[in-house]
Amino acid sequence: MQQTLPNIKDFTKPELIRAVTMLGEPAYRAAQLHQWLFSHRTRSFDDITTINLALRQKLSSIYSIRTATLDDCRQEYRDDHEIPTTKFLVRMHDDETVEAVLIPAEDRITACISSQAGCSLRCSFCATGKMGFTRNLTSGEITDQVWLLNDYLADHYGQKITNIVFMGMGEPLLNMTHVLDAIETLSNHNYRYSLSQRKISISTVGIIPQIDLLARSHHKVKLAVSLHSAIQKNRESMMPAAREYTLPALKKSLAEYNRLTGQPVTLVYMLLRDINDTPEEARALVKFAKSLFCKINLIDYNAIVNIKFKPVYSGKRELFLRSLLDSGLQVTVRKSHGASINAACGQLVTESRQQHLPEEPH
């Protein structure tokens, strides 16, 4: 019964104020409640000792407090870091699963989290794109992923998450309200754990109307755009969303984002063997990026079973990188981590679903 009631962790502070005042309680109760839910991270109304028993009983008859769980994890150790890259399967109250990954680096520990269960955008190189869209995650389900990973990190290694990227399953800008609500909570500096919004990055395929909204919002999060090709025809063939959000329109929107926020944009470019690693592609990328305030993040592809793409050869990566650097662009190269644990998004959920499929009748 509890689990069918609305999850109070999905409420923003203003929504909590409304809920509490509708019960005839003063608004400051909402601030207490928010703190208990997101700083103390209580799992039961009974624990909220600063709120009187009658209100606790009322709340628990109307709302639930749901918490996602870690269901499975895969790890990959690297020589240069004591903490392994760890990918988790996170299970929601309705048994829907998403992925979240801890990615340690020299100077940071990043949590890569999901914004949707599945995805409607069908990028051809992505395992999540193959499974289709199930539903948006709520803001409570998004913050839960961060708490769960942070607790895991604290318990096992005595460390904290230093950065968050919305680069897991789903397109965050198609679930923008819940993503931004979650970010508000995660960046609340009065709470036990919080992060500056500058340490949080939203990664999008380039949903232009939402980029424009983000540029005009008061949020200070970073923006990353999965570009993967600066040639319209090639980009469309990999990313169907690019048909609607074309490269010229995207470039205009990013230039406006630069102007309004004063912030750079990261252009994420995943090198795919013989697909987007040619000199012609490098020249197109230089042309696209040259007039923007941006940096380019070149990443390797993790091969996925049943998907035709392959990682780039290292010699070609060097040539591609050299042409970008020679043009004066700022470029970082991210080596592939997590190949042995299928760290590209959607692969662990796909495997888990396959394991849970009923056996074919003989």
Residue ranges that bind ligand SF4, judged by CB under 6 A: 119, 121-123, 126, 128-129, 169-171, 205, 345
Which of 205/282 has CB closer to ligand SF4?
Answer: 205
Q: Residue 242's closest CA among 123, 342, 156, 323?
A: 123
- The answer to whether 138 touches 10, Cβ cutoff 8 Å, is yes
Identify the active-site residue in 112, 119, 294, 345.
Answer: 345
Cα torsion through 9, 15, 20, 21, rounded to 10: 180
Residues 6+ positions from 259 with CB-CB distance below 8 Å: none
96 is catalytic: no
Which of 140/346 has CB closer to ligand SF4?
Answer: 346
Minimum separation from the CB atom of position 205 to ligand SF4 (A): 5
Which of 104/129 has CB closer to ligand SF4?
Answer: 129
Sign of CA dihedral 171, 258, 230, 246: positive
Minimum separation from the CB atom of position 8 to ligand SF4 (A): 29
Which of 174/289 has CB closer to ligand SF4?
Answer: 174
Minimum separation from the CB atom of position 21 to ligand SF4 (A): 39
| CB neighbours of residue 91 within 10 Å | 16
Minimum separation from the CB atom of position 331 to ligand SF4 (A): 21
Sign of CA dihedral 250, 251, 256, 259: positive
Identify the active-site residue in 25, 73, 99, 280.
Answer: 99
Which of 19/127 has CB closer to ligand SF4?
Answer: 127
Angstrom distances, CA of residue 56 to CA of 14, 36, 244: 19, 12, 49
Query: In one letter, which amino acid is 349?
Result: V
Sheet holding 200-204, edge to edge: 69-78, 81-91, 97-105, 108-112, 163-166, 200-204, 222-226, 265-271, 294-300, 331-334
Minimum separation from the CB atom of position 315 to ligand SF4 (A): 26
DSSP tag of 133: E
345 is catalytic: yes
- The answer to whether 16 touches 62, Cβ cutoff 8 Å, is no
Minimum separation from the CB atom of position 181 to ligand SF4 (A): 20
Residues 6+ positions from 348 with CB-CB distance below 8 Å: 72, 74, 87, 89, 99, 341, 342
Q: Residue 251's closest CA among 203, 201, 296, 206?
A: 206
Which of 20/174 has CB closer to ligand SF4?
Answer: 174
Catalytic residue numbers read 99, 345
